[in-house]
Structure 1
Amino acid sequence: MVNYRYLGSSGLKVSEITYGNWITHGSQVENDTATRCVHAALDAGITTFDTADTYANTAAEQVLGDALKGQRRESLEIFTKVYFPTGPGGPNDTGLSRKHIMESVNGSLRRLGTDYVDLYQAHRFDTETPLDETMQAFADIVRQGKALYIGVSEWTADQLRAGQELAKGLGFRIVSNQPQYSMLWRVIEPEVVPTSSELGISQIVWSPVAQGVLTGKYLPGQPVPIGSRATDTNGGAQFIKGWLRDDVLDRVQALRPVADELGLSLAQLAVAWVLQNPNVSAALIGASRPEQVAENVKASGVEIPVELRNRIDEILGDAVERHAGKTAEGAPASRLS
């Protein structure tokens, strides 16, 4: 079963393996399969579920809400996000303006079939809206009881600091950040993690298996498996292609003895690795089959000895991306970019 951790400096506990439905629900898998995956997560002790209004242009929220029907609401932690375009993509269908936030939270609640979300997250930083406008809108949502906590995603250290200062003045706190983080992508370690620790913010990390590369199923010198994420033109392929280099894939295969020593699969090793970081509250996992959920949950509670973590570092070497500036480089330059 899954262990639990506090979210930032709050009193909210979340399952350290959190179920996310970014690419799968509403686009990659049929709704009945998505429902079976959600139920497998519940059976494994996962109580925390993460989605966003932009996933499959709102369809993912609807699928998740339907899959959770009949569950005791108080026993769940439901997260969603706002920023990216939804609907027909009009000028106010994106960003973190007061208008878009207020309209979006109501739409998310309706699709999820709930009166409130446990965590409402700014999916990216909005360079076109004054930060105080965004923070005031979040404060009002908290006061209205539509969200219990506020988080962000892929914010830089400076953005986190500015946002937290405004939030505290408005009577709430940012409790979480949702960045990409894995054995191969460690750009949050130099700046975001230390700043977050200081501010009482923890990480809910996405892509802990580097879009599937760290599962070991992609082999050097071999074509990508049919039906894998690397062949999914609806979203998966564009995110994974940067890792599909033989020098990276060779190093991933070299991790097998480490995984074997711990009695883990490569995927379980990858998820367990991100959970060794004390600033990480949860690792987001997705699934296209219920069995994948049960396998990933086995990473919960695993402790990787320091000597094995050092060996992982040696094996991966310069295949690891560590440059702190990558967070800002990956951010949208404008709402529509």
Structure 2
Amino acid sequence: MATRIIGNLAAIFGLKVLPLASVFLWCMVYGESVLANEFSGSPNVVYNDNFEQLIDKKILVAEKKKKKKKKKKKKKKESKQDTDTVQDSGAIPAGAIPKRRGALCTACKNLNGFVEPKKISDEIRLMVGQNRMKFAPIAVKIQKARGGIETGLVPDFLGGAKCPKIDSEKWAIDYSRKRQVAAIHKGIDIPQPRGTPVRAIAAGTVIGKFLNDWNRKGTEVMLRHTPDQTGLPFWTYSQYTHLREMSPLNIGDKVTMGQEIGTTSNTGKMGRRVRRDALHFAILYSNEPEWSNDGVYVVPKNSYWMDPNAFYRIEPPYDSQSLLKLPKAKKKIPVPYMKKDGSFFPANTLKIWPYACP
């Protein structure tokens, strides 16, 4: 009866009451009080040293288990929050960057702007996609913060030319369902028949060649373009993947705008469905000239992703956040190109579409 009254009063005032068994044990050990007499049924509670030690040990073990459970619960909660907070705090978890698979690009060492891979931050390496699968949510947050968001830009080929178009695989669309892990499409796909020549979008230097038989990109070539070569106020890096075979070009070779750098195919690791023949075309840019090649990835220092359509703009903005805010009338981007006969339209352009147009 007394315990019921105490319980009711505790509920009214929001107090916590110890379980009856715990109170009983406490009273058996320290049972000089009236409360002890009530629970024990005896006016004088008798105990010995061994019994006290046994009870104290049981209480101590119970407390340790309780603390351990709370600590485990807290750790689990913090772990769940990692993917939400790591980007804000600027911390990259240990083990997020996989061990290098390929040999360091020795041919790159004498090229302008090249630096050792250790000079590139882990954040930028995650941004280009160099991450372990379980850290994909963190990588995607970085990618989105550094340009990997949809902008709504579309190409508008000058003179109404019928150039090869981007299909449904547009810039920065969500790829989570396709990959079964957090992912975005870091480029655009342009389908063309197998063997169709892929053209350098501007004059530049070959700084990356990868077979990528272990990932989805397949055979890849990357070019570096200086501000003078594009007319843009920063260094740009163009990426071409799913190529049919490794380009005969060598690391360090200079290429001219419109030069063939490979041919179209569907190389690279595939899922359940066979990939159609298409070029995956992507652009990175940086205000700094430094870059690295660790044998698997080209990683420009302090770089950002760019909507490939934005590469053809002749004035700022170029960053995705600003492009997203442009009015609809400015979302169509005039795109110059190379004709089938090898001439350019317009003739004085520094940049072209990666396929020749009729």
State the TM-score bracket (shorter-chain normalisation): under 0.3
Q: TM-score, normalised by structure 2?
A: 0.23
| Structure holding more strand per residue | 2
Length-normalised TM-score, structure 1 = 0.24
Greater gyration radius: 2
| Greater helix proportion | 1
Higher relative contact order (CA 8 A, sep 6+): 1
